[in-house]
Amino acid sequence: MKLHDVLSIIDGKAISKNIDLDREVQMGCGSDLMSDVLAFTCEGTLMMTGLTNPQAVRTAELAGIAAIVFVRGKLPPPETVALAEVKGIPLLASKYTMFETCGRLYQAGLPGCGLFEITLRQWHLTFENSAKG
Amino acid sequence: MEKKPIQEVTKLQELTYELTVGHAMSPKVITVSSQDTMAQFREVLRVNRISGTPVVEDGEMVGVVSIEDLIKALATGELNAIVGDKMCQHVETLYADEPLVRAVDKFARFKFGRFPVVDRDGHLVGIITQGNIMHTLLRRLEVDYREEGIHRYRASHIFEDIIADEAALVFGYRIIGRDFDRAGAASGNLKTTLSRLGFNPRIIRRVAIATYEGEINIVVYTNGGEIVAEVRPDRIHIEVLDNGPGIPDVDLAMQPGYSTAPDWVREMGFGAGMGLPNIKACSDQMKLESTVGVGTRLEITIYADETGEHGRREG
């Protein structure tokens, strides 16, 4: 899915100037917790978040996030926009809530990032073993 | 000095052959009906901040109407005339799969402000202005420039040039405590450096994430520390060191979801108790030593010859 598709699906706007709306995103994630973004995404993910401080951009840079969508109509402060410019990470805005922004994209065919071992280890320990016992 | 502008022009010319009209066009086309009045057309221009549109009748494109037609209609007081009578019926179009240079030629030949873009079946798929072309070329030049930058710095051959039984490059980064604005800058610099050294992007991503979580811990809990990366062709070893307060119960700190972070850290998007488990998930080896009142030493090893996905992702 390309960024201009994303914008039309979520009825959103581009915050950054001169962004490449042909950039592809492979999958999506939604979180206000940056550690969760680092743990539960892959390269080329589109990140939905309500966190507008520069750490959102740092996280995107380090986790190889393709673009950021700020949800609930929240707009990032100038220092976040400036850092994104330097790091080449497109910033988009959605007036919808996290749930609805993600839901629209998922419905339009943008998949999630799948399941991760870090989750499943704990899951199996808690549920699968106790079910047997 | 004389040569440089000529080279730039050549590069631009090259790009106009490489890119297609489809690359540069705007895929969102605003149209008016031939039965609309010129007054309605004026509103369309004003609301969308454009200077012309294709005219459509029963789904077929029958003409193009521009701000010049509107000015003429204004001058003769014909704002209530229908667009169909005032439009230009002679429509010049471009194909989306044509090289961009065709569009450049056409703009030079016809003095039109825009051309509708059609696919090979004649369906309207976009519209192109000279502004679109300019914008696309500039953006492409910027991308090429960036890639060239990476290429110029690529030092992946450096290990091949070193004659030794073992070779390692060591990079050190100083981290300032409580300075959240700069948290992540060191990890970003390490990531860029590893890219220039030509490591596999997936390996770099794991190093970047593990280092970033370590850097965040230094910024949040201590007055400062350092990150030392020892890079060898087959593995990257990272030490995250601080003289901070230390971790009282390392086993507890390793549990996903356990956190002692204050509220201000949570407001910054961290402190959810995923940092150390996340570092572990990214590492091939991880060692955490901490003494309360003395400091913490975190050692991470990630091997460069990754096969498969390191089990990070299931399925």
- Residue B149 has what pLDDT? 59
Task: Tell me, yes or no, if A32 comes closer than 8 A to chain B by beta carbon.
Answer: yes
Say which residue, B16 or A93, is predicted with more confidence: A93
State yes or no: pLDDT of A105 exceeds 60: yes
B7-21, B78-92, B142-156, B227-241, range with the lowest pLDDT: B142-156
Gap between the Cα atoms of B136 and B130, Å rounded: 10
CATH of domain B160-303: 3.30.565.10
| pLDDT tens sequence across A1-32 | 999 999 999 999 999 888 889 899 999 999 99
User: Contact A77/A53 with Cβ under 8 angstroms?
Assistant: yes
The reply to whether residue B272 touches residue A36, judged by beta carbons under 8 angstroms, is yes
pLDDT of residue B147: 65
Here the ipTM equals 0.88
Encode pLDDT of A108-124 as tens digits.
Answer: 999 999 999 888 888 89
pLDDT of residue B279: 94
Would you kindly state where each structural domain of chain A is located, as residue ranges? 3-132
How far is the alpha carbon of B208 from chain A, nearest alpha carbon, in Å? 6
Range(s) of chain B covered by CATH 3.10.580.10: 3-138
Angle at B212 between CA B208 and CA B218, to 5 degrees: 150
pLDDT digits over A24-77, tens only? 999 999 999 999 999 999 999 999 999 999 999 999 999 999 999 999 999 999
pLDDT, tens digit, 9 for 90 and up, residues B283-292? 999 999 999 9
pLDDT for res B153: 58
Alpha carbon distance A98, B27 (integer Å) = 27
User: Which residues in chain B have their CB less than 8 angstroms from residue A22's CB?
Assistant: 23
Would you tell me which residues 50-109 of chain A have a C-beta closer than 8 angstroms to some C-beta of chain B?
Answer: 51, 53-56, 58-59, 61-64, 79, 87-88
Minimal CA–CA distance to B33: which of B80, B7, B72, B65?
A: B65
pLDDT for B252-307, tens place per residue? 999 888 988 888 888 888 888 889 999 999 999 999 999 999 999 999 999 998 65
Q: What is the mean pLDDT of chain B?
A: 87
* Residue B178 neighbours by CB under 8 Å, 6+ apart: B219, B220, B223
As given in the structure block, the two tokens for residue B311 are: 């089990």
* Res. A80: pLDDT tops 50: yes
Min mean pLDDT across B64-68, B187-191, B289-293, B310-314 is at B310-314
> Residue B242 in 3-state DSSP?
strand
pLDDT of residue B12: 77
B188, B268, B277 member nearest A62 (Cβ): B188
Cβ neighbours of A87 in B, within 8 Å: 188
Burial of A97 (0-12, 13-18, 19+ CB in 10 A): middle
Cα B142 to the center of its chain, rounded Å: 12
Cβ contacts (< 8 Å) between A39 and chain B: which residues?
209, 274, 277-278, 281
Which residues of chain B form CATH 3.30.565.10?
Answer: 160-303
Q: Is B215 at the interface with chain A, CB within 8 A?
A: no
Residue B229 has pLDDT above 80, yes or no: yes
**CA nearest to B79, candidates B21, B133, B36, B48:** B36
Pair A7, A14: CB distance under 8 Å = yes
DSSP secondary-structure letter at B289? Answer: E
Q: How confident is the model at residue B8 (pLDDT cuts 50, 70, 90)?
A: low
- Sort strands B114-118 and B169-176 into parallel, antiparallel or unpaired: unpaired
Nearest to B188 among A22, A51, A58 (CB): A58
Instruction: Please give the CATH architecture assigned to the domain spanning B3-138.
Output: Roll (3.10)
Paired with A24 in beta bridges are A2
Residue B314 above 50 pLDDT?
Answer: no
CATH T-level assignment (fold) for domain A3-132 = 3.40.1390
Percentage of residues of chain B with pLDDT beyond 70: 90
**Tens of pLDDT, residues B114-173:** 899 998 888 899 999 998 998 888 888 877 766 665 555 556 677 777 888 888 999 999
